[in-house]
Structure 1
Amino acid sequence: MAELAGCLAGAARDGEALDAFLYAAGMLQAAEDRLAGSWTVPRRLVRHLQDGAAPTAGSRAGAAALERAAVALAGRAPALGAAVRWVRLLAGATDDLAALVLRPAPFPSALYRRLERLAGQVDGRPQERPVERATERSAEQPAERPAGGAGLRRVLGSAVRRPPSCFCSFDQYPADLAELARRFDAARPLPADLPLLVVGVRTSGSYLGPLLAAALRQAGHRAVAGGTVRPGQAVLAGRERELAWLLAAGGQVLVVDDPPVTGRSLLEVATGLCARGFAADAVSVLVAVEREPPDLGPFRVVALPERDWQVRELVSPSTVEALVRRSVPGAAAWPRLEVGPAVSPGRGLHLSLPVTGHPADGPPVPLRVETVGLGHLGRRAAEYAAVLPGLVPEVLALEGGLMVRREQGGDTPVSAEAAARYVAARQRALALGADRTARLVGRGPVWEEAGRLFAPLFGRWAAVLRPLLADPVARELTRAARPYVVDGRTSAGRWTGRDGRWVKTDWAEGAFSHLDLASCDPAWDLAGLAVSLAALGRPGEAAEVRAGYERLTGERIGAARWCLAQLVQVRHGSGDRPLDRAARRRASARAVQGFLAEEYLGDLPTPGAGPGAGWCVLDLDGVVETDPLGFPAGSPLGMLALRALRAHGFRPLPATGRSLPELQDRCRAYGLAGGVAEYGAVVHLPGRAPLPLADRDGAAVRALAARSADLEVDPLARWTARVSRRQPDGRRTGLDGRTAGRIAAATGTRTVRGEQQTDFLPPGVGKAAGVRALLAELGDPGAVPVFAAGDGPADLELLRWAELGTAPAHSPAELRSAARVSASAYQAGLAQGVAALLGHRPGGCPSCRPPRPDPGSRALLALLALPEAGPAGLPARLAELSSAVGGLALRGERGRG
């Protein structure tokens, strides 16, 4: 806020009404969020308690009551009361700036002085206070009272603006608000004196609301007030008298926001207004739409379709040609200029037009015209390009939110080294003084999304424990030591080049994304490309991205930091194309596999050929891995057991019901000699073609399952078929006995039932038969495994065959006659079984003891350890996590000190 205040004063001094408005509206948004969010403890408590649950009418009413109480208390606190008064003064000045933006005129000196005073109270600059004549003051503008100095700066000075989607990501213009006001008047003519209240839905409502209110005033409405609100908060808390007067006068309310997807936020705000006493027919929603207007039930919707947005006029062929001819050197003399159609890569992404100039005496000149946002929000594209020469296209002109740049062709995929060089150069050129993302509580920064990934590990206590134990880990691990303005969109498809030269084609949008995901950490940019390359089947290059950056900069990206960045990129990143559920699960699992392998296996020598001390066959699900995170993930004890086997010369071999690609991922990450996938239907040896053992694949089952809309088939399984039922609440479950039996009878398969799926196996397929075939391929036919661990009926024959068969405590009773059952469940049970083989617990001797993890890795390992022993082991693991969080916090304080 303090920096924005200086920018506001500078824009006002230069007479730049648009920039002054954008800065003032941004300050208003940041201030109102601070007063209604970070400083409202009851509201934050309600948000945490509701996190992850569907809001009910009672919970919404409770939140609104607490919010009103908190605002009332804030008004009684001297520092907060001064802040509330200052915000009201800023709102009035923002309204006047909005009027200037819609109807340009010379910048009034009185408005400039008001802005100077308001800005000075936040940034602490000494202010001249000239006496203002009463005639210079607007009739509607009350005399200003000082709003406080040091106290105001303590309350609001550190608040951080949130970029507005409307003028930053979406191609909206102020004229669109004037058109919405005109359409509202046409749809519902109202008396000029009837009170109107414009409610903007923050964030964009802080910008759109004042513009809409100014447009209504300029259209002749004489009683227009404004305000903003976030969905879920009490509507205009603290302004009860004003609302009562508006209700008594029969006033109307107009709600405005970004182009909606579902309209849920608009509906929530409109419903909240009805809860404050307004009738449904007194509430209208005014909104620009990309497609169809949302269905908001009883509320009137005044929509501005995308074809009628002002941007469509600005990107018309004639307008673009005129822009290019006056701004590109030499273009005025070109005999011909071709302008292609305007297209957008997707929702909230700017329009782009190919333009080709044809000089009289030279080759064609490829250009591109793109929309980039308004005012200083759009200028960032040219400013960043100026400090990244050769790494991004040359910018030739920027005017009215349109940028003209050179187009560079090429179809060579970007190399990991080139991408790492770009991130390193960007980090130097766009360095920041501090990483402020830790302040963005509730605003979806990368660290907060990373913390939310681990919420399922805490079960019903997630609302309380996640902020205390997961969020601090994520916040500290994603804090940038050398912060900079990240790119934010680094997937492989966002580069173009040939002959060893690449440029980044969109270099400014991701740092100001409407998806939030704020970060200042290079790991975020690097992980975006790594995840993209892995999805394209280039895992080796994906690993080189991180290594290349470390070589160029000397900055180490720790394993835990790298893992978290990849997990959030998989879940929320802007890739070239969306990943389906199976691809997301696989990519997330790979990120955790890489982290665990680096921590536990990286220092071990590469195993030699042959059986070594003996073959050890391990099931994956429920033994080496569990699935509470929504994807299969290992844990410290599971990896410690695997390390101990390898360190003592044993040769682990996975035998799993999972698909061949998933098995290949684990063999690659853990350095395994091979494995058996899909219950023994196929054998995998690294570097060799898969060896199918089944006489058929799962095509017949998949075809039958496809006839039911609620059945979902794992696309990675080939020789077997893994089928889930998608429940209305989004959960996946196995099939009921009747459905599974019908499919099995029709396809000649047998079933293996699981909690989240039912697997259909071809005849004759089994894990033990698969392992026998694998051992023969490894040159050890007839060998008997010295150790086997499994937890399901499909493992029964394998456990009987091995010299020592073990099962975790959660295994079904039928395994107890064939295996040594551990006292603990899941990976803790595996570790106990391995201890029985070795004669000591895994990690209990110098040979198998792992390297000591750094505090960041220790904390992430403690998070992953929570489910490894089931409910009985949770208290001890929560204590270990608390200790790790404390150690990580101490390290962070020392580093910042």
Structure 2
Amino acid sequence: MLMLERQAIIGRSTVALDPLPAETKFYSAYDWCLDPHLTVGEASERLAAELDRLGDVEPGWQARDVATNIYLLSCSLLNGVDEYLRGHTLRLPPQLAKTRLGRLALRTTDRAAQKIPLRHKNELRRWSEEWQNGLDILLADLMRSDSDAAPFAGVVGKLSALLRRRLPSGLRDARLGIPSAFNRLDLTPDDVFELGRQFMRESADRSQPVLVLGLRTAGTYFSALLCSFFKAEGYSRIAALTVQPKKGPSERERRQLSEYARKGFTLVIVDDPPNSGGTIVLAVDIARQAGFDLSSIRVLVPTHPATPGWAAMLPDGLVITLEPERWRKQQLLDPRIVQARLAEYLAPRGFADVQILDSWWAEELDGSQQHGASGKRGATLKRIFKVQLQAAQGDREVRHFVAKGVGLGYLGYPAFLVAQRLSEFVAPVLGLRDGILYSEWLPQKQAATDVGLNRDSWIDRMACYVAARTRLMALPKSRVAGKAVHENGWTLLAEAFGRAYGSFVLDVPMRSLIQQRLYQLHCPYPTLIDGNMEAGKWIGDRTGLLKTGYYGHGLGKTLLNSVDPAYDLADAILSFELSPDEEDRLLRRYVEHSGDASVADRLFINKLLAGLWAMETAQENLFSVVQCGKQQQEQHRRFLGAWDFLTVQTAQFCGARCRPSRAASWHSPLVFLDIDGVLDRRIFGYPSTTAAGIEALSLLSKHGCSVALNTARSVYEVKDYCEAYGLAGGVAESGAYLWDAVAGHGLPLIDQNTLVQLDELRRALRQLPGVFLDERHRYSIRAYMIEKKPQSLLSRMRRFTVGQGVPVPLPTLIVRDLITTLRLDRLCFRQTTSDTTVVAKDVDKGTGLAALRDRVLGPDAETIAIGDTEADLPMFRTATRSFAPAQIRCKREARLLGCTVSRHSYQRGLLDIVGALVDRKADGCDGRIEPADQSDGERLFLDLLRVADRLQARALVGALFNRATFRIFIR
């Protein structure tokens, strides 16, 4: 939410700020671009329409836009043909791909993948060459001027004839990628031309042959422009070729490169702004292997403001770049240019004079704004302007406007079209020109949550907004999941779900099978979703709540690519921490306004996706953006909030399948369960029980056992688990707090002096840079640092945590020094594999068990303890009987205390222990899960909970004979 200037909107006129009729008319013809993931066949149809429109469109910006669309669609087709001819290849880590075995495997895969007849290959190559020749004529002048389209009638006819040629069905149905350079990186063809001019200043010899090597996808678009540009500038021998560096060149591409190297061509490598420069290094390596000398290679790429030093390790003279301050859109956002554009938009509204008083750059990052260019790769340019308007009658007023890059040509039109359809919910839009959207910016005097609306009104507004998107931005019914090039949402979910198979051998290949099931989930209302419903994206106007960032989060190369409006509802539930009653209200209001009656069936799987996506993006921001400590802590809070959300939602899902029908009560025997390692484990990257855990709790309930938790988890988590599973209560934070869910009452088990010392240490830890606290813990401290996971093959393929980071404990000496220096004599700490836990000296799980037992039943009540760590030994000592699953490391010590260790691990061990306790075989009673009506998504998740309990030998054998299993290894 934009919060740079906290001032009220006072005395503002009520003059409507509708877009110009000419823009509304022009952009209304492009409804199809709301879904940018076109097939080759669809792109061909759109391109034919643009070629027809070129002769009829008005000269000026409309002609330029049509020409831009012809260029974009043409390059997407060329890129699609090149990818089709290249075919699939084996996905191998770089180290393995360089070995003799790796090269042999890649060549074998390449040959097996090439099923296209040679005749068809040659026809497609000739088609591409003819198309490029026609495109050269169009691009040479039309892309850089306001020329009349009439002189190009001949070439337009030729291109239209080419489009009528029949393409192979496999190619026509292929989905095309979205060029990031012209979608979310704010580049324009002018920037590519400027790179060409820099090359020409360095290499003035027009007779020198030049090969432009485009790195797909963006390189296809750049190479087409540069080839046309160099030809127009008099270079006599220009050739073009594209490769996909991560796939490596095909045999034919390799031969072509070698031939150009032998003929003495200068190689010009082009691509969009690099992130790390690794792809550029790969491309240079490919060129040198083909025979190009390093002195004959030049790399022409722009530099993004988020990665200014990407070329620091490359040889001098290799790279020709364009710094971000020289990009065309940076120039278009100059206040003088914007003032002229605003005057053009505002003059028809009766404003005779427009003067910019002030302006500033803004970063849309973590809800905060900063001066300067964007610090995150992919965050588009944005500039805010304070403008004085003078009406014809002489009245003056001050308004604010924002100009933001939204993408080139048809890739940017959705920003305008969505604003038109959702005008009730978004700030007024003035217009769209040159890939920049101009709209009113509403400075906030107060946070949007304080505009006077109660929480129910907030919920109703969000429901209406999501419903409006469902009605007004519906995608074709044929548009289902699995039809985008980058299914990032389902890929992330499949990656998490694959961990149910546990082992490195099986979890990776099983992702393909899981993803196929995710693709099959039914969505009756495919929609261009918002994709970002967090509270910071809502602002308060005198007319009510408005949504910012209403486009650009749903479909795109690095985005979710989800089309189910249930995701927006799930994201709202996560972001606003809605209670079950509030969630029910949100769904009811949404159904009333949309007619989407089955949304509840699709909600759970989308909740999981929303939580995992929030965790992933929070950690991405933590490591990919330079941030101050406050911003780092905010990202960490966002990560923890999503972690909590996933944990609670999963517990509620599981609890619905084992929650007792009668209210919880206290009676003997009293069973104390540890959570982590006993009831839960981090199967999907966050804590969850399994089918065996559900069955164990069901058995305990059916046999009349009172169940309480005894855990290091926070008080809040214990309360959530008691509610989700219908438990009687528990002991939280390693014995520091007891919770009686039956009475709805809690009690700290540490004194005030200890609390004071905890607060003092907490304050000291907050002063240490890079230290994060789990703020849910109030009667203990969990502190840790977050390190980026190593990018080894093993870590990439086995990501048992979500995101790029992994928590690690604080250095022992630092914690010891703090406790000693601050004289915190009531505290002690222990180091775990993931954090530093600080607790009161005089409490533990044993004292907590005794305190709860004595409070609710008395000291003579029978107690049974089930745990799996050294921290559970005091609980074993205090309980009447004790048990542990097989993974317990301190088996000897536990057995000395009379603990019985199961032969099974984790939740299977818990079920084995509970089965022995209640003797289920003797009385024939079991706790099998008998789900009622379930959606396909819920059924999939329950299947995975069952999978997590099983030995995977049978699943492995089945996977080896399923071709879909191996799609994960195909690029």
TM-score range, shorter chain: 0.7 to 0.9
Whether the 8 Å contact between 1:331 and 1:357 is mirrored in structure 2 is no
Whether the 8 Å contact between 1:67 and 1:237 is mirrored in structure 2 is no
For 2:789 and 2:439, locate their aligned partners in 1 and report how far apart those are by CA, in whole Å: 48
Which of 520, 523, 534 is the equivalent residue of 1:476? 520
Q: CA deviation at 1:839?
A: 3.1
Which of 227, 240, 252 is the equivalent residue of 1:238? 252
Query: What amino acid sits opposite 2:98 in the alignment?
Result: A
Q: CA deviation at 1:437?
A: 5.5
Q: CA deviation at 1:630?
A: 3.2
* Gap runs ≥5 in structure 2: 1-39, 55-65, 365-373, 450-456, 622-630, 791-804, 965-971
Equivalent position of 1:863 in the other structure:
944
Which of 92, 95, 99 is the equivalent residue of 2:140? 99
Offset from partner CA, 1:178-232 (integer Å, 9 cap, x none): 111122233x325212222222232222222222333333333332222333331
Find the residue that maps to 2:213 and give its secondary structure: strand
Which of 837, 841, 855 is the equivalent residue of 2:917? 837
Question: Judging changes above 3 Å, is the alpha-carbon distance between structure 1 residues 307 and 717 closer, same or farther for their aligned structure 2 residues?
Answer: same
Equivalent position of 1:403 in the other structure:
437
For 2:180 and 2:729, locate their aligned partners in 1 and report how far apart those are by CA, in whole Å: 49
Which of 152, 161, 169 is the equivalent residue of 1:154? 169
* Residue 46 of structure 2 corresponds to residue 7 of structure 1: yes
Equivalent position of 1:124 in the other structure:
none
Q: CA deviation at 1:426?
A: 0.8
For 1:433 and 1:736, locate their aligned partners in 2 and report how far apart those are by CA, in whole Å: 56
Find the residue that maps to 1:254 and give its secondary structure: strand
Greater alpha carbon shift after TM alignment, 754-763 vs 832-841:
754-763
Greater alpha carbon shift after TM alignment, 549-558 vs 252-261:
549-558
Whether the 8 Å contact between 2:711 and 2:733 is mirrored in structure 1 is yes
* Residue 311 of structure 2 corresponds to residue 297 of structure 1: no
Equivalent position of 2:352 in the other structure:
333
Which of 28, 33, 43 is the equivalent residue of 2:78? 28
* Residue 830 of structure 2 corresponds to residue 788 of structure 1: no
Greater alpha carbon shift after TM alignment, 672-681 vs 111-120:
672-681
Equivalent position of 1:653 in the other structure:
708
* Residue 448 of structure 2 corresponds to residue 412 of structure 1: yes
Whether the 8 Å contact between 2:668 and 2:706 is mirrored in structure 1 is yes
For 1:116 and 1:739, locate their aligned partners in 2 and report how far apart those are by CA, in whole Å: 72
For 1:200 and 1:844, locate their aligned partners in 2 and report how far apart those are by CA, in whole Å: 69
Aligned 1:244-255 pairs, distance under 5 A: 244-255=258-269
Whether the 8 Å contact between 2:523 and 2:564 is mirrored in structure 1 is yes
Whether the 8 Å contact between 1:388 and 1:425 is mirrored in structure 2 is yes
Find the residue that maps to 1:630 and give its secondary structure: coil
Which of 421, 426, 429 is the equivalent residue of 1:392? 426
For 2:411 and 2:948, locate their aligned partners in 1 and report how far apart those are by CA, in whole Å: 45
Q: CA deviation at 1:243?
A: 2.0
Question: Judging changes above 3 Å, is the alpha-carbon distance between structure 1 residues 847 and 691 closer, same or farther for their aligned structure 2 residues?
Answer: same
Find the residue that maps to 1:397 and give its secondary structure: strand
Question: Judging changes above 3 Å, is the alpha-carbon distance between structure 1 residues 268 and 706 closer, same or farther for their aligned structure 2 residues?
Answer: farther
* Residue 324 of structure 2 corresponds to residue 306 of structure 1: yes
Query: What amino acid sits opposite 2:327 in the alignment?
Result: W
For 1:735 and 1:352, locate their aligned partners in 2 and report how far apart those are by CA, in whole Å: 41
Which of 295, 316, 336 is the equivalent residue of 1:281? 295
For 1:22 and 1:375, locate their aligned partners in 2 and report how far apart those are by CA, in whole Å: 8
Whether the 8 Å contact between 1:529 and 1:542 is mirrored in structure 2 is no
Question: Judging changes above 3 Å, is the alpha-carbon distance between structure 1 residues 167 and 335 closer, same or farther for their aligned structure 2 residues?
Answer: closer
Aligned 1:467-616 pairs, distance under 5 A: 467-477=511-521, 480-498=523-541, 501-534=544-577, 545=586, 548-550=589-591, 552=593, 553-558=596-601, 560-572=604-616, 580=635, 584=639, 587-588=642-643, 590-601=645-656, 604=659, 608=663, 610-612=665-667, 614-616=669-671
Question: Judging changes above 3 Å, is the alpha-carbon distance between structure 1 residues 711 and 491 closer, same or farther for their aligned structure 2 residues?
Answer: closer
Q: Identity over the aligned pairs, expressed in percent?
A: 24
Q: CA deviation at 1:390?
A: 0.7
* Residue 379 of structure 2 corresponds to residue 349 of structure 1: yes
Number of residue pairs aligned between Structure 1 and Structure 2: 839
Equivalent position of 2:164 in the other structure:
120
For 1:876 and 1:244, locate their aligned partners in 2 and report how far apart those are by CA, in whole Å: 49
Whether the 8 Å contact between 1:530 and 1:543 is mirrored in structure 2 is no
For 2:652 and 2:698, locate their aligned partners in 1 and report how far apart those are by CA, in whole Å: 9
Question: Judging changes above 3 Å, is the alpha-carbon distance between structure 1 residues 551 and 13 closer, same or farther for their aligned structure 2 residues?
Answer: closer
Equivalent position of 2:905 in the other structure:
825
Greater alpha carbon shift after TM alignment, 803-812 vs 692-701:
692-701
For 1:842 and 1:289, locate their aligned partners in 2 and report how far apart those are by CA, in whole Å: 72
* Residue 247 of structure 2 corresponds to residue 167 of structure 1: no
For 1:863 and 1:446, locate their aligned partners in 2 and report how far apart those are by CA, in whole Å: 18
Equivalent position of 2:850 in the other structure:
772
Equivalent position of 1:271 in the other structure:
285
Greater alpha carbon shift after TM alignment, 690-699 vs 591-600:
690-699
Equivalent position of 2:274 in the other structure:
260
Question: Judging changes above 3 Å, is the alpha-carbon distance between structure 1 residues 416 and 87 closer, same or farther for their aligned structure 2 residues?
Answer: farther
For 1:881 and 1:546, locate their aligned partners in 2 and report how far apart those are by CA, in whole Å: 39
Whether the 8 Å contact between 1:654 and 1:676 is mirrored in structure 2 is yes
For 1:392 and 1:795, locate their aligned partners in 2 and report how far apart those are by CA, in whole Å: 54
Offset from partner CA, 1:798-828 (integer Å, 9 cap, x none): 2343344221122231223422322311001
Equivalent position of 2:69 in the other structure:
19
For 1:720 and 1:167, locate their aligned partners in 2 and report how far apart those are by CA, in whole Å: 47
Question: Judging changes above 3 Å, is the alpha-carbon distance between structure 1 residues 595 and 659 closer, same or farther for their aligned structure 2 residues?
Answer: closer
Whether the 8 Å contact between 2:670 and 2:705 is mirrored in structure 1 is yes
For 2:283 and 2:745, locate their aligned partners in 1 and report how far apart those are by CA, in whole Å: 59
Question: Judging changes above 3 Å, is the alpha-carbon distance between structure 1 residues 682 and 737 closer, same or farther for their aligned structure 2 residues?
Answer: same
For 1:538 and 1:202, locate their aligned partners in 2 and report how far apart those are by CA, in whole Å: 47
Aligned 1:189-268 pairs, distance under 5 A: 189-235=203-249, 237-268=251-282
Whether the 8 Å contact between 2:810 and 2:836 is mirrored in structure 1 is yes
Q: CA deviation at 1:153?
A: 3.7
Greater alpha carbon shift after TM alignment, 394-403 vs 664-673:
664-673
For 1:160 and 1:679, locate their aligned partners in 2 and report how far apart those are by CA, in whole Å: 54
Q: CA deviation at 1:244?
A: 2.7
Find the residue that maps to 1:227 and give its secondary structure: strand
Whether the 8 Å contact between 1:531 and 1:569 is mirrored in structure 2 is no
Q: CA deviation at 1:9?
A: 1.0
Offset from partner CA, 1:705-764 (integer Å, 9 cap, x none): 999999976565552445579587266667999999999998766565644455444312
Find the residue that maps to 2:545 and give its secondary structure: strand
Question: Judging changes above 3 Å, is the alpha-carbon distance between structure 1 residues 500 and 529 closer, same or farther for their aligned structure 2 residues?
Answer: farther
Offset from partner CA, 1:838-866 (integer Å, 9 cap, x none): 33279974887542454432322232344
Find the residue that maps to 1:286 and give its secondary structure: strand
For 1:307 and 1:93, locate their aligned partners in 2 and report how far apart those are by CA, in whole Å: 33
Whether the 8 Å contact between 2:554 and 2:563 is mirrored in structure 1 is no
Whether the 8 Å contact between 2:386 and 2:401 is mirrored in structure 1 is yes
Using the size of structure 1 for normalisation, the TM-score is 0.83
For 1:610 and 1:875, locate their aligned partners in 2 and report how far apart those are by CA, in whole Å: 42
Using the size of structure 2 for normalisation, the TM-score is 0.77
* Residue 476 of structure 2 corresponds to residue 433 of structure 1: yes
Offset from partner CA, 1:438-463 (integer Å, 9 cap, x none): 44576243212211223444432247
For 1:765 and 1:61, locate their aligned partners in 2 and report how far apart those are by CA, in whole Å: 61
Question: Judging changes above 3 Å, is the alpha-carbon distance between structure 1 residues 118 and 373 closer, same or farther for their aligned structure 2 residues?
Answer: same
Q: CA deviation at 1:371?
A: 2.6
Whether the 8 Å contact between 2:574 and 2:611 is mirrored in structure 1 is no
Equivalent position of 2:732 in the other structure:
677
Offset from partner CA, 1:135-177 (integer Å, 9 cap, x none): xxxxxxxxxxxxxx2xx24121111222222121122111111
Which of 627, 633, 649 is the equivalent residue of 2:688? 633
Question: Judging changes above 3 Å, is the alpha-carbon distance between structure 1 residues 259 and 849 closer, same or farther for their aligned structure 2 residues?
Answer: closer
